[in-house]
Chain A
């Protein structure tokens, strides 16, 4: 009993760190740092998934933890790092909304997410159930980040952070989706990032920049 209590505490701690990282990403302007933070999120996910796998005794979860490590901690940050080096991106330009306001909105979102998740997480049988609210908050914060940024790369990192939140939600609420689905999701993600990579080059080739303000030609009026 004491053992599982400890694990639950540990998971809560990890979840809190995840949330903290989300906030950090929301306020971070340097692309390089953003990638690091993203990788850190991956690490946290990996650790928490392993812990959940251990405590619940589910072998599939180890696979998905490994997948996370492989994909989100190693592969994607590596790809991104290479990309920004080759594309020469270092700074995000000024965000659309200034950072203090973003943070305040983020705070409100966290409260909203917690309120939303509370009644649901009560029903869950998993030891990670309390963290569903945090997962939702991570998703919403990532969404906010995508809204408030200008650069294509940052937007994509926001997108991936959202994916992280989803993954976290899956493990916390249900001990993860069935393996086939996990694989499918991972494949889609990988292909998606691959396509994104292609896009970055095409966009830069056409527009000489990855600033999204170039991509506002298709509009009404």
Chain B
């Protein structure tokens, strides 16, 4: 029932907002629907805590420790982003960048996107997972091109084509998976693509097929994760879309895509019995982290900067999953969580910052603490958090990842060190003059919704020094599951 609510409420929201999205109360409705989804997700989480993992609807849906925390996270960030987007989009409208019709599109697509992500997270069917991922892509394509400027169209086009092609590779991988599954499970109804069934027989799946399948799946979903060198859509889409969309892209979609990759990795690694997938993940992870960091160095646009930072962090998470083992997996899951929270809060702050300055170019943003201390401190603290400054939680996961890497694969640590060092310098040398210094810009017409920023940061801070035992238990269970 709660499952149905989690999946259905955003769909309902999409429908309602498609009808009333242009009205004054659309933003409030958006917030309301998101809140309802969050509550439903909370119910689902409670149930899973109480009764353990569950399957539903002819095993088509699966809720286990791995995805339930992602569902909660997605619902939460979805909700806070909706709160943030209310004043943000209103200011955008007043600046004349949007009209009510586009707002309607925005609101309904936002809900549709959430629905697609919940579907991708909750489904037990690898095929359905593919369909949901594609749906998520399609709904965000329209969000990225919302402003209908040249740049936003170009970004959306690239996003569409690159992710479309990527996802086509994932489909081929899925077909190969299905092909291997048929050998082991037979062709009875829809069970051959069910992850739980595949997982149960993964030892019998043909390793060579799964090896190839993993390549296609990794390239496919990896494109959406933003792994270098498949990442090229990501900075464009982040920079040109509306800020709430950047926030959910970075904070949520990347996670969901990575979730898909990891689900595949569990199967493939179990089947081929070698560390090949782990090696690929580590390689991609390191490459993304290092390239992301060097890209960061040269950015001029604030949202592009943080887009590349997402690539870097996805690289680190992927690397950690590649390291494997309970500690690194735990760290990777933690990093996914804190990255989502931190990165979305940064985008909130950066969005308002660029609205205040009237430009996304960082040269034009100056002295935020002078004009609007909350935006300034939000951006500063968020950036420090994402750069792995304790006591923020990002540091906790980086601590575990780095120490693990140092013992298991010491060759990788210089790369990580370079990536983290360059990323630190790259981001901080931009953030500092934006936040500090003098400014003559005027404050925003509407008071910015910065509660989400500080709530997120407070959560990240808490995770750095104290992790509630149930959450830790989830992470542990999920880390065991990933193996």
Contact = CB atoms under 8 A, between A and B. Distances in A.
Contacts, number: 125
B475 interface: no
B158 interface: yes
A143 B127 contact: no
Contact of B153 (A162, A175, A180, A203): A203
Interface residues of B, number: 49
A139 B157 contact: no
Contacts of B193: 177-178, 181
B206 A123 contact: yes
B158 A181 contact: no
Given A146-B165, A159-B165, A174 B179 contact: yes
A74 to B, nearest CB: 22
A101 interface: no
B398 interface: no
Contacts of A174: 175, 178-179, 182, 187
B295 interface: yes
Contacts of A166: 168, 171-172, 175
A88 B477 CA distance: 58
Contact of A177 (B127, B208, B295): B127
Interface residues of A, number: 45
A175 B187 contact: yes
Contact of A169 (B161, B175, B192, B209): B175
B141 A217 contact: no
Interface stretch (B131-139, B354-362, B434-442): B131-139
Contacts of A221: 298
Contacts of A91: none
A50 to B, nearest CB: 19
Contacts of A152: 157
A218 B158 contact: yes
Contacts of B209: 120, 123
Given A181-B131, A199-B153, A199-B157, A220 B298 contact: yes
A56 to B, nearest CB: 10
Contacts of A214: 154
B153 A178 contact: no
A202 interface: yes
B417 interface: no
Nearest to A189: B134
A195 interface: yes
Interface string B130-162: 110011001001100100111101111110110
A124 interface: yes
Contacts of A20: none
A120 B178 CA distance: 13
A181 B130 contact: yes
Given A120-B208, A159-B168, A162-B165, A170 B175 contact: yes
A180 B142 CA distance: 25
Contacts of A203: 153, 157
Given A195-B138, A199-B157, A202-B145, A184 B128 contact: yes
- Select the residue from A124, A199, A214 with max chain B CB neighbours within 10 A: A199
B469 interface: no
Given A173-B178, A174-B187, A185-B131, 13 more contacts: A120-B179, A120-B212, A136-B172, A169-B172, A177-B178, A184-B131, A188-B134, A191-B138, A206-B150, A214-B154, A216-B154, A217-B151, A218-B240
10 contacts: A139-B168, A159-B165, A170-B175, A173-B175, A178-B190, A187-B131, A192-B134, A192-B164, A206-B148, A218-B151
Interface of A: 116, 119-120, 123-125, 136, 139, 143, 146, 152, 155, 159, 162-163, 166, 169-170, 173-175, 177-178, 180-181, 184-185, 187-188, 191-192, 195-196, 199, 202-203, 206-207, 214-218, 220-221
Interface of B: 125, 127-128, 130-131, 134-135, 138, 141-142, 145, 148-151, 153-158, 160-161, 164-165, 168, 171-172, 174-176, 178-179, 182-183, 187, 189-190, 192-193, 206, 208-209, 212, 236, 239-240, 295, 298
